[in-house]
């Protein structure tokens, strides 16, 4: 026990004496939470629209003015030549071309009349599809209005949409829990590994290896400080989310900390295992980057797991962050309770044990 205490003291002293680490631990989460949500948004804005108006009727003018009024769409121009519009699309000046056929207003009531056609540049798939969707919505609203004016009794709303748990469909609310997880992966994934490899590079680990320190004790002494740091980072991130974005957990704070505690242990154990197999900082960084890429892109952090191909969905079962992403998002945004998430906690717990045992076992005092 005394061995563990002196080792822990040593780790804490080293972290405190480091000119960079304490700043990193405090400033990094604040900066990430302050700045990144401002620009990581999937809301598509400024979709440039050109309208090819062959009809020149009240209806087509109404459509144009609604497009102009939309906060997501910006009208680039109205033309009567399809070629001009296509040229603008090719040159990237327009994202979407809306073509209103001749006699559109006159034939509106006839079922097989010429239809409005929408052409979108889908090189940026998100912008293309979201842009078309916005236009379809805008035009549908215009047409409904027109119909309502002509025949008030027929006026009916066809569809109503309600977004639960993130009522304004604010992408930030979706991103903030993801950013917290990215913070954990970076802070608690890299720092313990670098700390071990740093000792390998400076040779101090050999002085430890020639003493009777148990590898479990040594591994724990590397783990515990970063565990506390991780929970501190979570606290800072949650405070920023509350103060700046007004986002507070809908569910229990205890559940969030429990999930984070398990997740940090898992990711730190993983990082220590990588460190045991690396000789230099570069090696550790590259190997960690490789895994972090997979963690970030496949854990449902940025894109939903449900839309991945079947084999990829199966693969995510062995990715620890996947379980925590689900925990953090649903507790934070939906207020989900332990009863519904206990399998995720169990999975994290099992990963935490596996990776930390692995870290202790692969730590070789004698080669």
Residue burial 13-36, b: 16+ Cβ < 10 Å; e: rest: eebeeeeebeeebeebbeebbeeb
Joined together, the tokens standing for residue 249 give 């957990």
Site for another protein in 153-212 (CB under 8 A): 202-204, 206-212
- Of residues 2 and 153, the one with the C-beta less far from another protein: 2
Closest distance of CB 191 from another protein, Å: 15
Q: State the minimum distance, in angstroms, from the CB of residue 338 to another protein.
A: 40
CB 201 within 8 A of CB 280: yes
CB of 190 to another protein, least distance (A): 19
Q: What is the DSSP letter of 167?
A: T
Minimum gap (Å) between residue 210 Cβ and another protein: 4
Q: Is 6 in the site for another protein (CB under 8 A)?
A: yes
Could you tell me which stretch among 1-9, 22-30, 88-96, 342-350 binds another protein (CB under 8 A)? 1-9
Residue linked to tokens 């405090």: 26
Residues 195 and 311: their CA atoms lie apart, in Å, by 36
8-state DSSP, 109 = T
- Per CB under 8 A, contacts with another protein among 347-366 are 365-366
The interface with another protein within residues 8-37 (CB under 8 A) comprises: 9-10, 13-14, 17-18
Number of residues that bind another protein (CB under 8 A): 25
Contact 103, 114 (CB under 8 A): yes
Tokens (6 digits) for 67 = 């497009």
Among 5, 293, 297, 361, binds another protein (CB under 8 A): 5
3-state secondary structure of 79: strand
How many whole angstroms separate alpha carbon 332 and alpha carbon 122?
A: 34
Residue 6 Cβ vs another protein, minimum distance, rounded to whole Å: 3
Nearer to another protein, 14 or 137 (CB): 14
Question: Taking the C-alpha atoms of 161, 167, 172 and 173 in order, what is their torsion angle to the nearest 10 degrees?
Answer: -120
Alpha carbon of residue 226 to chain centroid? 23
- Rounded Cα gap, residues 28 and 233, in angstroms: 9
Residue 10 or 106: which CB sits closer to another protein?
10
The distance of closest approach from Cβ of residue 258 to another protein in the complex, given in angstroms and rounded to an integer, is 32
In degrees and rounded to multiples of 5, residue 97 shows phi and psi of: -115, 130
Q: How far is the CB of 367 from another protein (least distance, A)?
A: 6
C-beta closer to another protein: residue 5 or 34:
5
CB nearer to another protein: pick between 30 and 224? 224
Instruction: Name the site residues for another protein (rule: CB under 8 A).
Output: 2-3, 5-7, 9-10, 13-14, 17-18, 202-204, 206-213, 365-367
């Amino acid at each position: 026990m005394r061995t563990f205490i002196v080792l822990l003291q040593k780790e804490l002293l080293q972290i405190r004496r480091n000119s960079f680490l304490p700043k990193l631990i405090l400033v990094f989460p604040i900066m990430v939470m302050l700045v990144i949500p401002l620009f990581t948004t999937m809301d598509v804005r400024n979709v440039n629209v050109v309208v090819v108006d062959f009809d020149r009727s009240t209806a087509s003018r109404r459509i144009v003015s609604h497009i102009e009024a939309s906060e997501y769409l910006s009208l680039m121009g109205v033309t009567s030549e399809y070629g001009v519009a296509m040229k603008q699309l090719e040159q990237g000046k327009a994202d979407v071309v809306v073509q209103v056929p001749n006699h559109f207003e006159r034939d509106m009531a006839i079922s097989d009349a010429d239809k409005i056609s929408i052409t979108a540049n889908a090189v940026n798939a998100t912008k293309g599809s979201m842009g078309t969707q916005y236009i379809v919505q805008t035009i549908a609203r215009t047409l409904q209005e027109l119909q309502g004016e002509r025949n008030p009794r027929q006026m009916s709303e066809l569809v109503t949409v309600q977004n639960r748990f993130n009522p304004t469909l604010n992408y930030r609310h979706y991103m903030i829990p993801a950013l917290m997880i990215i913070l954990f992966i970076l802070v608690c994934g890299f720092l313990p590994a670098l700390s071990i490899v740093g000792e390998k590079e400076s040779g101090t680990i050999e002085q430890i290896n020639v003493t009777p320190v148990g590898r479990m004790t040594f591994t724990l002494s590397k783990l515990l400080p970063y565990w506390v740091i991780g929970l501190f980072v979570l606290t800072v991130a949650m405070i920023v989310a509350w103060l700046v974005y007004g986002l507070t957990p809908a569910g229990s704070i205890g559940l969030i900390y429990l999930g984070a505690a398990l997740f940090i242990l898992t990711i730190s154990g993983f990082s220590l295992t990588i460190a045991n197999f690396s000789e230099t900082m570069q090696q550790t960084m590259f190997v960690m980057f490789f895994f972090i890429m997979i963690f970030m892109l496949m854990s449902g952090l940025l894109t939903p797991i449900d839309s991945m191909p079947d084999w990829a969905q199966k693969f995510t079962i062995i990715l620890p962050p996947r379980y925590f992403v689900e925990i953090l998002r649903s507790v934070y945004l939906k207020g989900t309770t332990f009863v519904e998430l206990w399998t995720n906690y169990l999975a994290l717990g099992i990963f935490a044990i596996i990776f930390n045992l692995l870290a202790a076992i692969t730590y070789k005092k004698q080669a």
